[in-house]
Structure 1
């Protein structure tokens, strides 16, 4: 590996960095100093070494055997938000949804409030076409800057990302380092009111103060995932210390000492029961990475 200006850590525990608080270590964790540092590192890294980006660790199960290769975590240098014009923001790949939506409010830019409700960072939103409350990233994205596995910096427009429901055509190993979002003019007070409404709705319906991974399965449109899970009698179902949330049954919880294997096994049991009950094949929305122990 080349010399870097950021931070390289071998055998870095990932459980403290993910919402489930479970799972093994990264073979190597890299926290780049800036885009150029990331480019130089990836450009000289053996192409056979796998690379994975890590944001806030929300929609993620890190398996107990850990993650081989390099995990790239975008920290504070990638968490900046800048106003480009009256309706446009350029946001670092490590910026949270709360930071982006709050920055939009301060700038009088509406239409971006929904990011307040998504627990993650810009990089994850762009890759997964994150969405909530009737809007998706594809509705506001102008373009994204990505560093490819080769180290090349590339700018991709909205149409080049091939967006569908919770999916993009972003190449494997590519890391989103920034995204440009466009909204519309709005009064900051009205934007704040909508953000407050979204926050209250989430508080009322989701287990926000638990060790969870957010929405577990994609909605089997036009149905809701929680509806078919509840219909199959899975609310409150447990394996070890992993539980299907009783408050919102498209959320899995770590009640204390669940392993990632427990959490993933519970998800697969939910999928099996739902398929047997209604014929609906649930697809994982949460990413599952690494190797089984």
Structure 2
């Protein structure tokens, strides 16, 4: 997998703002064009669109805190921005671990819709910001959460964005050899996660569609037939809405759990949608999204279900 990214050495940086310059910033066009790249990087590093947007905003704040003379010495503004954004994300990941330990229930990454399906109620101009590929699948992002901040940054920068270990070292403040070890450790964690689907998207969509129909019908037998015996279902309500406090494990247990939700009795409509580039479901009540469901399908069986119910995490889906 290769995602093109600007790369290079970091320039001088200060957080003290300079007086506003009377002349326009000659790098303004590059700043605007670089935003999508930075959001793509920050979302993969943080697993949260809201945190990614904040990290990118902080990066731009630091750029405009430089004097005009300081900015003139930076050969590649795009590379400078990517380097600073990575460092900001590394700091955020360190504090995020403590926050997520206090999180009510299970923490899941924020799900992303297809660009064309992004709600007008979301933040401005989001539709073209995050490229949906295997590096933003829910399965991939969940495994990234098990990594240390340094492992995650080293792995994403090197394996996803193709930075050299020398460049990664300059960002995380370690030697290239240490960064190589961090990425290697991250890969071992990745191998310990859900197995690759290796399954045509159309077939995955068919399995999810069959699950939807069985769920709507409350058909426990049909649900069991679609679920791996060791399936795990994880819900994230963030303490704002009801969700299972712990993952539900096992084909029969998960089947009974979903059948017991009674979506039709609760006037909930299930819609087939793409979630982080993979076939998924969206639950709506009175036209408002109340849940986003991502699936991992292996061998025509569902092995993982991730239900994001926290309304703060499904902003782009609420119209």
More strand by share: 1
Task: Give the alignment's TM-score, normalised by structure 1.
Answer: 0.32
Task: Give the alignment's TM-score, normalised by structure 2.
Answer: 0.30
More helix by share: 2
